[in-house]
Amino acid sequence: MKRVILATLILSTYTLATAAEYVKKNGYLEVTNHKESTEFSINSSTPDGSGVCNMEGNASAISASVGQRKRWLWNDSSSQCVAVISELSTGGGDSYD
């Protein structure tokens, strides 16, 4: 699997949280690529357990930026959750950031 960068933004009316704030031991990201989309599942939380991020869905392919091979976007119509998943063009191995 290619190196994948995950940027997850969870927006609310009062706070702005970034993926860097959601770090959990034994948290996971699963990605299954398809031609025009990718299925994903994310399970993570803030270190103190006050915020939990459980997202899954089918992200749509969008234009890749410089240094990226592919990029997908997902947003939840029932909340303000957004996930952007990028595959780096220099990627390799099975590591995720």
**Nearest-angstrom CA–CA distance, 49 and 30:** 21
**Contact predicate 44/20, CB 8 Å:** no
Could you tell me which residues come within 8 angstroms of residue 92 by beta carbon, excluding any fewer than 6 positions away?
2, 3
Residue with the larger pLDDT of the pair 10 and 61: 61
CB distance 40 to 30 below 8 Å: yes
Top-confidence residue, 95 or 37: 37
* pLDDT tens digit sequence for 59-85: 998 998 888 888 888 888 877 778 888
Question: What predicted TM-score, i.e. pTM, was given to this entire model?
Answer: 0.58
